[in-house]
Structure formats: C-alpha cells, structure tokens
Structure 1
Amino acid sequence: MTQETISKETREFQTETKQLLDLMVHSIYTNREIFLRELISNASDAIDKIHFESLTNRDLLEGNSDFEIILKPDEATHTLTISDNGMGMTHDEVIATIGTIAKSGTKSFLEKLKDRGNTTDNELIGQFGVGFYSAFMVAKKVTLLTRAPGQTKGVKWESTGDGTYTIEECDKESRGTTIILTLNDETDQNDHPDENFLNRYTLESLVKKYSDYIRYPIKMDFIKEEKPRDAEGKEIEDAPVTKTVEVRTLNSMTPLWTRNKSEIKPEEYHQFYKNLFQDWEDPLEIIHSKVEGAVEYTTVLFIPSHAPFDLYTKESESKIMLYSKHVFVMDHCKDLLPEYLRFMRGLVDSPDFSLNISREILQHSKQLKLVGKNLEKSILKTLERLLTNDRPKYEKFWKEFGTAIKGGVYTDFQNREKLQDLLLFPSSHGTDELTTLADYTKRMPENQKVIYYATGKDYASVERLPQMELLHDKGIEVIYLFERVDEFAIEALKEYKGKAFHSVSRGDLNLDDKDATESKKEAEEILKDNESLIKAITDQLKDKISSVKISNRLKSSAVCLVSDDQGISLSMEHILSEMNQTMLKANRILELNPNHEVFTKLKTLHETASDSQTFKDYCDLLYDQALLIEGLPPEDPISFANKIASLMAQTK
C-alpha cells in the first residue's frame, strides 16, 4: 500500500488543552511513577487491538505474532523507550488519537473539573491521549514513532509540552508504536532516588507493582557481568570481566485470579496473599469469584488470620486493591466496602470500572456501588457459612474481628439484620462458651419476654453484680457485654426476632411468673410502710439520684444502682464520659434490699435520729457503695474514706 509523502508540520494545542496538561502534571497525578503504568497499558491495548483484528485478517500481523512490550533505559542519552508491536497508527489516527484532548469537549470538561474539584466526568476517561500525556510528568520531551500495518512509512510525533507538537513522516521498519521519553533533568538518582526511571531494577519493581498481570511479556535487557572460573569453579581474580546481555520478562502475565478455582492449590492462594499483603501467616478464609452480568468482575478476597495492630485506629486503611483489565489502579479502595469490613484483604479486577484521568480515584459510579454491594453480600454469606459449618474457625475469626462486626451493627443500618445473626456473646450459660442470639432465644423459657444483658469488664465482675442475683436464682440466662461497642450495638438493634433487649440494670426486670408477681407486690407493701424512710433517703441524696425504691431483684446485696427505661444506662454514661461526652446522664435509681441488715439499721436510725449525721453518712455510703459496684468511683473519695473510718471506729 502506498501513501502520500507528508511534510513536517507544527500544530498548536488549544488554550484549554494547555490547562489540562498542566492540571494533570501538577494536580491530578500525585504519584509520578504511574506514567509507566499508563504507557504500558496503552501498549497492551494496542496489542489487544491487533490481536483481535488479526483473527479475521492475518495479513495485519506481517509475519510477526510474537507480541511483546519492550523497555529500554539509556543513561547516555537520558532516555527511556517503551515499544510495542501492536496495531500502530496512521498519520490521521495520530492526530485524532493523540490530539483527543485538543477537541472541543476539553473546555466543558475543564469547567466541570473546576466546579467539582478533582472529581471527574467520564468524558475523557480511558482515552489513549489522556494516559499518554502522563509521560510529561517525567519527560521534558516526548517522541512517538508509529506505523500501522500495511503502511510503507511511519509517523513521528514530538512535543516538549509547551503547547505545540510536530508531526511528520518517518521510516519505521516494524509495525507498532515506540515512545521515547527524554527525562527531566531532576528525574535522576541524586535528586529523586526512588524515581530513577533509568535504573533497570527500579523499572522492574514498577512493572511488578503496576503491570505484573498484563497478558503480554514486558521485556528489558540486563547487563550480566562475570569473571572466568577455574576448574574448581572459583573466580579467577586477575581475569577480565565478561559482559553479556540477558533479556528478562518482568511480568508474570497470568493473574492467579483469572485461573479456574479448581486448578489453584491452597498453597498458591496462601503464597499469593502473603506476597501481596506482606503477611507471615496463611489467611483464615478465601473468597474467589467471577461475576458476569450488569457489571463483570473477578475478585479474590482474604480474611486474615489475625487483626493488624492498627485495625481500630484512624490510620487503618482498606486493603482492597483495584485492577482494570489486569492493570493495577489503586492500592486502598476505601469506597468499595463499608467501614466495618475494613479488615478484609484482596483485589477486584473489572473491565467495567469508570476511571478518572489519573486512574487513582475511582468514579462514584453505579458499577462501583453494585460491585461493593455484591462483595459485602459475598463476605456475609461466607461468614454465615463458617458460623454454621465450622464454629471453631468462626470463633477464631470472631476473636480477631468481632469488634468490627459489632461496630457494623451500630453504624450500618441497612445490614443490621444480617449482622445480628453473626454476633457472638459470652453469657451465663457457660464461661467457656459463646452464644449467638439465635441460640439464646432457643433456650429462653416460654414465659420469658425479653433478652437480658449485663455490662462489665469481665466474667467475674458481671457475675457478682447485685442486679444478677434474682436472675441467677431463677436460672435465667444473661448475655454479657464486656466491650465498649457492645452496648452501642445492642441499643442499635433494640430487639431480636421480636424479643426486646433489657439491661439487668435498667427499670423492672419484667419477670412473668408467680414468684415475681408476689415479690413485686411485697416490695410495694414495704415501700408503703416505709414511705417516711424512703423520703428521708431521697432527700439526703437528692442531688445524686432521681429516686429510691424497694428492690425485688436483690437477694444478698444491700443496695444497687439502676437507671430507668427512658434515658441512657449507667454503663453508657460511663462510656460516654470516657469519650469526653458528658452531656448525657443516666437517671439514677437507688434500690434497697429490705431483707438486708443495713435496711434494718437505716430504719432504726430514721426512727431514733433521722437528722443525725450518722443517718446521713449511712445514706451517702450506700450510694458510694452502689457506685463502686457499678465500676464507678465515689464522687468524693476522701469523704467516702473518712466516713468508712468513722464507722469502723464506732464498731465495738
């Protein structure tokens, strides 16, 4: 095929194109090394194109079907060359493709970009010309040599990024595209040791990081230096060094996640996980799936065996990596999974993602949201299966990540019902066992109306709570909450399968049996008979409590503090105060055991000397005692200690 001779011409970019180029170099691209990913991706796309076209037209290959991408760093000329034997371009295609950003749409694109900050429109996303211009982040001059199949001449395009470019005819023997980057003066080992893009090992590392799974070999030559060896295999000291060129393929080309699951051994998954996420332990569970439909994607997700030390800190980041057509796009995609699943590790590869200019920030697209929802469902189903089929393994997971799941119950309203069946709690059913809410409700007596829970720092402290005495006596199971997030989660749920949650330290216990009814009636009668005493205690503690009641839940303890059903609980008040949120206070109710000797002593003091300091001290001490039982310090420790000492001195 012949073509007309085309003389060299200089073309000028539009004003907005200069603005876009400046924006890309200085604002949008925050990591200069990704220029290599962009150019390799473009080369791969060009090979994809001729590979597909050649299925129906073998002449396009011109006898060369060994597809490859070649990197050639040259320190002498300070250039880096990226070559491919893909489709190549004609003169008109170069102008149309490389000149894409000079089209009229650029102006409106820039206006939208300005209005939205750095969030972008799909208008220029994924187009060859955009990724190509990332080369100017590191190059002071970019030269492109290309030839399309069947053309006798190639095309040379060149620009220094100053707003103009030249285009002319050139000789090019091989089909495809070659890009020569004359690197910026500052892009050297002295000023930017991590950005020495002429260093072969730096380039090899970047290919591994960003383009390891490009389906075509990415090759580069390495100089191998060796000294001759003697008969015993030892180097001959004075012999001259021989240099040979060794061509290496830098990428693995076959992503593990694209292979059939049945063909992948567990140890391959494990090694892949360890290499990718620098973990020394095998993952606890693996989720590998390929989805086709509205959005096509493949995912490999891992549940680690142990929680990282920073999982529950602000610095913790999502470890879900994004790939588009096997090309690395993003390290930490925080928008893909909800916060409570931030412990997950893995990757998602999809050809359908909409990427912005830099490919570093994913568009908040319908595709992304759909993939995220599907991943969340898949993870929850996996956890449900573990809980049902492998309880020991699930409990190991729960020990490491249960706090995150409980946080999800509190923060993720949409999935609250699904998460509630994954919850595990210790309970009075057994010190070595954890129970699900489903298990708890199965064990509930028919007349039990609510799910009881108690808060404390550990088993021993909760077991000794005075509020637990009656429930222990009746053999009623109580769920124990030891973590700060637990009560937030319970409060968020409010109920489970129609059964409301009820704190043993709030309001009435709502027991529905004959003994409870009689005990309640007896307490009301005692309260009526001791109205004057109760009023006197209430008056003494009026600044500290809302009321005093005769308890029908205490057995051996003299006193306890509870809160009413309307406000927050005492434990929640304590948690909020530790978080420096002191606005909300529990309505404190002091409950007295009418069968305890202290109650009898109070009655005697009230009848003989209700205004005495001793009576007042007894009231204060009972309140401080109740605080200590709840794990709260006395409001005036010195006064508390003095009253104890005074009481001890009176004892004969």
Structure 2
Amino acid sequence: MTAQTEKFEFKAEVNQLLDILVHSLYTNREIFLRELVSNASDALDKMRFAINSNPELEDEVEPEILIAYDEEKKTVTVTDTGIGMTREEVMTNIGTIAHSGSAEFVKQAAESKESLDSLIGRFGVGFYSIFMVSDHVVVRTKSYLKDEPAIQWVSDGKNAYELTEVEAEMDHGTIIEIQLNEDNAERFGSDDKLKDIVKRHSNFVSFPIMIGGERVNTVSALWREPKFQIKQEQYEEFYKFLTYDVQPPIDTLHFSVDAPVQFNSLLFIPENDLDIFGMDRDNWGLDLYVRRVLIEKQNKNLLPEYLSFIKGVVDTEDLPLNISRETLQDNLLIGKISATLTKQVLGQLEKLAKDDEEKYAKFWKAHSKIFKAGHMDFVNRDKYAGLLRFDSSKAEENTLVSFADYIERAKEDQKEIYYSFVASREAANLNPHLEIFRNKDIEVLYLYEPIDEFVMESIREHEGFNFVAAEYADLEKLDKFESTKKEDEPEPLSEDQEKDMEALIAKMKEVLGEQVAEVKVSERLSDSPCRLVNPDGAMTSSMEKLMKAMNKDSSIPTKTMEVNAGHPLLRSMLEIFKVNPEDEFIALSSNQLLESALLLEGYLNDPHALVGRIQSLLTKAGGWYAELEKKD
C-alpha cells in the first residue's frame, strides 16, 4: 500500500516554538478543531481560486469538510476536498510558522511571478494546536495537480515527522486523523461534542461541514452578502439566532470597509436592554471573525463600553489566523477597526435621531444609561453630545430635548445651557434655585441620574454654548432678560426695616450656629423663603451628594442660607423680631427654614424634629387664628 518511509527533523524554528504553542499560548483546547476547519476552508477557497484562474481545470469533487469520530479507535478525522499539497509543500509548509490565509494567498498570487502551485497549502501555527489533544497525528494529502502522488505525514509533535508516498487512489484534498490522548478522549469523543464546537466557532464557514451525515453550519454568513440581496426578515432571523432575543432589533447596521482596514460588519441595536436585572454587565462585545472563522466571542476591544448595547459580528481579512488572536488587545488593526466602527455606529444613531424620532426614543429609553458613559470619548465628543437627550422645563409631556433643541429656543444673547439635578418635574417646580429661570422664562435641562452631571462636566460646551449649573448662574447674565412674572412685587423695605432685617439675619445665624456657614439676603429668590448654596460655589449640591455617597459620608454639609427678604414669612419674622428679638417664634422659624431647605436638597436624614416643629407652629398659629375668628 505504501512506499518507503523517510524521517525528518522539524525545522529549528518549529522545534523551538512547538512546546510554547501547545502548552502556553492556547488555553482553550477545543480550538484545535476550529484551526483544522479554518485550514480546510482555506484549502477549499484555494481550490476554488485555482479553478476560476484556470478554465481548463476540470473538477467534479464536491467542496466540503467532513468530520468523524471513531469510538473504537478514539480518533477524530477531519477531511477536506481542497487543493491539497505536494511532498515538497508538506515538508516546507507544515513546518513553517504563520503563513496561512486566503487573503495573503490571493495577494501573492496576483503580485508574484511564481506559479500558483508554489503558493498553496500554507498551514500556520494553528495546525500545531492538534498536539494539545493528541500524541499521534496522521495527515494524508493529495495535490490537485494530476501527476502528484498522495503524501502521508506522521508525527508525535515532538522533534520529528515521517513522510511516506501513498500508493492508494485518493481525490485531491487533505485527511487529518487525530488520535485523542487519554486526557481528551472523553472531552471531545462524540459527534455531539464535535458539533457543538463547530457551531460555536465555525458556524459561518461558507463550505458545508458534515458530521454524522448532517450539515452542522446551517446559518449563512449574512454579513458577507450584498445588502440589496438581504430581506429584513433575514436580518431579524439572524439577530434572533445571535442574541436569543424574541423582539426584532430597533435598527440594523450592515456595512463593508476597505480602508484603513478591510472588514465586513453586521450590527444590531436591540429594542430592550438585554441585561434585564443588571447582573450580566460583562456579557457584551462583538463576535470577531477572520474569513468566517470565529476568533473571539464577545471581543471587548472592537467598541467602547458605552456602545456595549450593540450586538453583532465583525469579519476581517487582514488579521492572521495565528498567534495574534491570543493577544488581540495589542493588535493595531483592532484599534483601527474600533475607531471606524465607533464612527459608523454614532453616524447611524445620528441618522436614526433625524429620520425616526420614535425609534430613537425607544433606543434612548432602553440604552441611555449605558450610552451616557461615553462622556469620556473626547475623540467623538461632538457627535456624542448631539445624541444626548434630557427632560427640560419646556419639554412637552413624554418628550426629551437635545442640545440643538435647547439652543434653537434660547433667548437672544443667551450663550449658556442651564441645567439642574432634580428628583422629578414636581421637585423642579419647588426648587428655589430655579425660581429666577421660571420668572424669566429661561429653559433649564433636568438631570435625573447621577451620571448626567458627569456628562455636563466632561462636555462643558456645545456649539458655542457653555453648560452652567442653574444654582450658580451669573446674575448679571440673567438680569438682562425681562421677568415674565405678573404678580405684585412686595413693598421694598424702608431704611429702618433694612437695619432690622440685618439684625434679624444676624439673630438667625446665632440660632443656627455652625449648621450654616452664613445667613444673607438673596438676590435671586422671589417665591421661596430661602435656599442653600455651597459657600465657595465650587460644587453643585447634587455633585456634592454624589461625592459624599461615594465616600460613605452621611454628614450634613455646612452651607450658606440665602433668605428672601420679600417673602411673607420673613416679613412676619421681622415684625415679631422688632417687638421681641428673643421670641420663640424666631428660633422655631429659623430652624424650620433650614430643615425644610435641607429636605428639598435631599440632605435631611432624620425628619422627626422637623415634624415636631411643624406641629408646634401649627398649634400656635391655630390658637392665634381661633382668637381672630372670635373677634370677627
């Protein structure tokens, strides 16, 4: 059956690297099958290329990959009907590191003066991954060249290999028989286990992969197909296959890129956040393929984390099917793909926001919490900022506004975008910091989530408008806008009343002590009796609370209390103070004003004293009112 066997030592570089490749770099042993399927697919691609390049080449062999497991022998056999190898090519190429790849093959075929025959059958380091699971491998291969005999290659993966010319008839292609060692026979020893590996790693290989008489790779690599040939139903079917989501995606991004790196991509925006309970945040990333062969599932370097809601696949011709897949995070090509993908996704979101507000609203509702984390993407800051949406004092019910919407409605000569962190629209209506904006009909963006303020701090300005926290707005800039408030203004204080008010404020500071940094008359308030501000104005109230929460600090900060000298309560306190500066009502009211303000700011941890004081004040007021009613 066979001719004389010759024994050869591995080339020096193979002998040196083989142990590293087998025992160190490949941590997932099942990839041996992925590598063999990848090489088989390459061989079939090269055979197809040879046929297309030579019209006189007749070939009736069906292109396919066959995988079989022999229970008795404990062997896995991978057979392809590809281009095969000659004896010289087996000696040269099975011992050569990192030369596989259809893209490189076609490139060299186009540029080189060498014949096509000299470029075929280039296995890379992936071939040697079979020695992770086997101590004995037999390769039988027959070149597509008619006069070339079949060759058998046998090795234990250590120092040498044997070559034998096979006399039996054989179609062109390659058969690799792997004797599973004791540690791996149970792990990979069944058709079902082999099918599972193929579906996980090689599901989109373009040639049929048969195991046990059944085709395993039944899903086509849709991203490789021309867009105009694909129906929406196909996209939705592929999306459900990829994500197991029963709902169709909001939008689909299908594109090909030729420069600066060549790749195809099919991405989806899910209608809902697939991490329903917030316990699966690490389950994200795009599946990375090289020529339809899965290199890494959920690669987290292809898109920034703030776009982690995107699902899909990326397939490139430019990455080698070799060791680089184990160190993808250091690969410069991945960085180029990532930059291009990010711009494409942001561009698609811009288009969606412009063309279909309803769909964009669905996207925002489902993914805004993740998307807002993109405030640190300074490269794409302008695109990112244009996609942000917020509630505002002028937003219609159930609608959100963009910075562009705000700027369009801004008053003449206004160059600020004002914002305020609030618990709800109802809370915003009670917020003393926002009174002046309501009175002057100036729009304020409402921030509801802690990350919103980080967004504002990071972006800082948009289209020439600076972001300003409402509580620290510059009064000089606000004074130039007329008030739209129609109510009668309170009578201004007389000179004597102003002196008494200064004395009252001093008394209030004495009563409140170190609970406040200062008590002073506000220049902004018109409806509320008082407000609290940070003495140095360096940090907004919401940011301060966030910082305290992060530091597990539950103490109440010491702030400046600004009082509204025109408010009826302050005027009543003033009248009582003039009669008796030590009246109990002054102390009760001062503490009540402070704790009410702290309650509105979200700082009051224990409201019991406040409730007791309200009851005391109501009792006093009720008695006074009853006496008044008797007189009437």
TM-score, normalized by length of structure 1? 0.82
1:154 is the counterpart of 2:150: yes
Structure-1 residue corresponding to 2:548: 577
Deviation at 1:628, TM superposition (A): 0.5
Structure-2 residue corresponding to 1:425: 390
Structure-1 residue corresponding to 2:104: none
Deviations 1:583-618 (A, max 9, x none): 999773312111223323443565566567764454
Deviation at 1:401, TM superposition (A): 1.3
1:201 is the counterpart of 2:192: yes
Distance 1:308 1:549, change over 3 A: farther
| Alpha-carbon distance between aligned partners in 1 of 2:369 and 2:74, rounded to the nearest angstrom | 54
Structure-2 residue corresponding to 1:131: 126
Over the aligned positions, Cα root-mean-square deviation in angstroms equals 3.4
* Amino acid in the other structure paired with 1:575: L
* Amino acid in the other structure paired with 1:135: I
Deviation at 1:574, TM superposition (A): 1.4
Structure-2 residue corresponding to 1:619: 590
Matching of residues 19-418 of structure 1 within 5 Å = 20-57=17-54, 63-101=59-97, 128-148=123-143, 149-174=145-170, 175-189=172-186, 195=187, 197-220=188-211, 222=212, 247-252=213-218, 254-309=220-275, 315-354=281-320, 356-357=322-323, 359-362=325-328, 364-409=330-375, 411-418=376-383
Distance 1:515 1:145, change over 3 A: closer
| Alpha-carbon distance between aligned partners in 2 of 1:66 and 1:84, rounded to the nearest angstrom | 10
Deviation at 1:280, TM superposition (A): 0.6
* Amino acid in the other structure paired with 1:11: E
| Alpha-carbon distance between aligned partners in 1 of 2:378 and 2:233, rounded to the nearest angstrom | 38
Distance 1:398 1:152, change over 3 A: closer
Deviations 1:337-363 (A, max 9, x none): 111100001111110124552735425
Q: Conserved in 2, the CA contact under 8 Å of 1:37 and 1:207? A: yes
DSSP-derived class of the 2:471 partner: coil
Q: Conserved in 2, the CA contact under 8 Å of 1:568 and 1:585? A: no
| Alpha-carbon distance between aligned partners in 1 of 2:277 and 2:563, rounded to the nearest angstrom | 44
Q: Conserved in 1, the CA contact under 8 Å of 2:556 and 2:603? A: no
Structure-2 residue corresponding to 1:475: 441
Match of 2:479 among 512, 518, 532: 512
Q: Conserved in 1, the CA contact under 8 Å of 2:440 and 2:483? A: no
Q: Which moved more, 1:33-42 or 1:454-463?
A: 454-463
Q: Which moved more, 1:639-648 or 1:135-144?
A: 639-648
Please state which structure has a larger fraction of its residues in helix: 2
| Alpha-carbon distance between aligned partners in 1 of 2:17 and 2:63, rounded to the nearest angstrom | 33
* Amino acid in the other structure paired with 1:130: V
Deviation at 1:532, TM superposition (A): 3.6
Unaligned 5+ runs, structure 1:
104-125, 190-194, 223-246
Deviations 1:274-326 (A, max 9, x none): 01111111010001111223321111110001012269667333231111111
| Alpha-carbon distance between aligned partners in 1 of 2:261 and 2:404, rounded to the nearest angstrom | 36
Q: Conserved in 2, the CA contact under 8 Å of 1:507 and 1:564? A: no
Deviation at 1:540, TM superposition (A): 4.6
Deviations 1:158-204 (A, max 9, x none): 22234443333333422222110111223344xxxxx3x33223323
Q: Conserved in 2, the CA contact under 8 Å of 1:447 and 1:512? A: no
1:461 is the counterpart of 2:427: yes
Structure-1 residue corresponding to 2:6: 8
DSSP-derived class of the 1:433 partner: coil
* Amino acid in the other structure paired with 1:291: V
Structure-2 residue corresponding to 1:597: 568
| Alpha-carbon distance between aligned partners in 1 of 2:307 and 2:555, rounded to the nearest angstrom | 30
| Alpha-carbon distance between aligned partners in 2 of 1:85 and 1:302, rounded to the nearest angstrom | 36
* Amino acid in the other structure paired with 2:6: K
Q: Conserved in 1, the CA contact under 8 Å of 2:204 and 2:293? A: yes
1:562 is the counterpart of 2:533: yes
* Amino acid in the other structure paired with 1:73: Y
Deviation at 1:644, TM superposition (A): 4.4
Q: Conserved in 2, the CA contact under 8 Å of 1:13 and 1:163? A: no
Q: Conserved in 2, the CA contact under 8 Å of 1:540 and 1:619? A: yes
| Alpha-carbon distance between aligned partners in 1 of 2:512 and 2:94, rounded to the nearest angstrom | 82
Deviations 1:552-587 (A, max 9, x none): 332332111233674111111112223336599977
* Amino acid in the other structure paired with 1:359: R
Matching of residues 518-529 of structure 1 within 5 Å = none
Q: Percent identity?
A: 36
Q: Conserved in 2, the CA contact under 8 Å of 1:153 and 1:172? A: no
* Amino acid in the other structure paired with 2:241: N
DSSP-derived class of the 2:404 partner: helix
| Alpha-carbon distance between aligned partners in 1 of 2:153 and 2:385, rounded to the nearest angstrom | 62
Distance 1:127 1:65, change over 3 A: closer
| Alpha-carbon distance between aligned partners in 1 of 2:125 and 2:49, rounded to the nearest angstrom | 23
Deviations 1:492-523 (A, max 9, x none): 2222222222223225443133757999xx79
Deviations 1:380-406 (A, max 9, x none): 111111111111111111111122222
* Amino acid in the other structure paired with 1:209: R
